[in-house]
Amino acid sequence: MTRLTRRSTLLGGAAVGLVGFAGRAAAQTPQINLGITISITGPAAALGIPIRNSIDILPTEIAGVKINPIVLDDAGDPTAATTNARRFVTQDKVDVLMGSSTTPPGIAVANVAFETGVPHFSFAPIPVPAGREKWSVVMPQPVSLMAKALFDHMKRANIKNVAMIGFSDSWGDLWLREFKAQGEAAGLKLVADERYARADTSVAGQTLKIIATRPDAVLVAGSGTGAALPQIALKERGYAGPIYHTHGAVTRDFIRIAGRSAEGVIMASGPVIAPELLPDSAATKAPGLAYVTAYEAKFGKDTRTQFGAHVFDAYEVLKRVVPVAIKEARPGTVEFREAIRKAMLSERDIKASQGVFNFTETDRYGVDERARVLITVKDGNWALVS
């Protein structure tokens, strides 16, 4: 063997050794796995796609630790969301669960989080039953907070009789419950409660029943593009009273589909939908502008949604809690999951695009009035309601 050949062989052996060492080192490098199940297809895709898009503009590291998001589509189906969540826990060994983007599958993911002991960020408002709240926090505003803004506006407008049309699932149920709890206490009377499925293409019958009750106002408890269906139907049949919508309806797609019928609608919304309109003193303005600027730079003008902002805000929370948890345990362990859970409750005043978060053992939403605004549609664009 010549010296050159021998040198090449030795270098080759050294290279193999270095590759093996690098592989072992890479395997030992901490990595936080996020299991994210959202509605990328189906009737609620308008809520899930902005979340999927937002992941592309989020940091790949927090506190020097790589963040590995694993995304699956549940199409708004609670059974699919359950399957996804269990796969994340058993196969992908995730440290954090996220999702879903609508209420029924969000509840399903919360159940898996509770059963398996994995921190969970919901991107949909979900009821967290007492005794099962340990592992879940909720990024959207609670229905009670947003409902109060709408009911207070109705009261100021001297509205007495209200008809409701909402999804025939837990989202509609949540708003009916809030009307009975808050609306009736404010002196409002429910004169109709109509429901429709998320996939329905007509609400003609429900609309005619509502108009027959001669309500002072109509509350639509829908979300995404599905919320536009009653809006259009009411206007087509000559309803001239005010129409209120929940924060689940606040999307550009709503304006696009509802068209002229959207003008004058009154909606509760998270502040990220129009951070430019907020005063400089608003705690949500800077994070909101940061999100909107980055998102629209990648996906185009006026593509922002409050739904995509929920995952941005979840990362804002992680930026605060990961540095605390990483001092306690290594990612991929039961101890790290517990450290994340504890840090979410100990860190205070986490400023984000949709609110200032202060989670507690009993308050899994952790936000106050800074997390909401009232908006309307004026000339095809958002405007604040004074």
Where in the sequence is the domain holding 148, given as residue range(s)?
143-269
Asked if the structure places residue 234 within a domain, the reply is yes
Both 252 and 208 in one domain: the answer is: yes
Both 188 and 244 in one domain: the answer is: yes
Q: Are the beta carbons of 170 and 143 closer than 8 angstroms?
A: no
The CATH number of whichever domain residue 128 belongs to comes to 3.40.50.2300
Put simply, whether the predicted model's pTM sits higher than 0.75 gets the answer: yes
Count of the separate structural domains present in the chain: 2
What is the C-alpha to C-alpha distance for residues 277 and 280, in angstroms, rounded to an integer? Answer: 9
Asked if the structure places residue 163 within a domain, the reply is yes
pLDDT in tens, 200-234: 999 999 999 999 999 999 999 998 889 999 999 99
Asked if the structure places residue 166 within a domain, the reply is yes
Both 173 and 186 in one domain: the answer is: yes
Instruction: Say which residue, 25 or 103, is predicted with more confidence.
Output: 103
User: Average pLDDT, whole number, for the chain?
Assistant: 91
Neighbours of 59 (CB within 10 A): 9
Asked if the structure places residue 18 within a domain, the reply is no
Q: What is the pLDDT of residue 28?
A: 62
Q: What is the pLDDT of residue 248?
A: 87
Omega of the bond prior to 100 within 30 degrees of 0, cis?
Answer: yes
Mean pLDDT for 297-303 is: 95
- At 265 the three-state DSSP class reads coil
Mean pLDDT for 234-249 is: 96
Question: How would you label 66-99 residue by residue, b for 16+ Cβ within 10 Å and e otherwise?
Answer: ebebbbbbbbbbbebbbbbbebbbeeeebbbbbb
Both 243 and 321 in one domain: the answer is: no
What is the C-alpha to C-alpha distance for residues 52 and 33, in angstroms, rounded to an integer? Answer: 16
Both 136 and 168 in one domain: the answer is: no
Asked if the structure places residue 306 within a domain, the reply is yes
pLDDT in tens, 345-365: 999 999 999 999 999 999 999
Asked if the structure places residue 19 within a domain, the reply is no
Q: What is the pLDDT of residue 276?
A: 95
Q: Are the beta carbons of 49 and 36 closer than 8 angstroms?
A: no
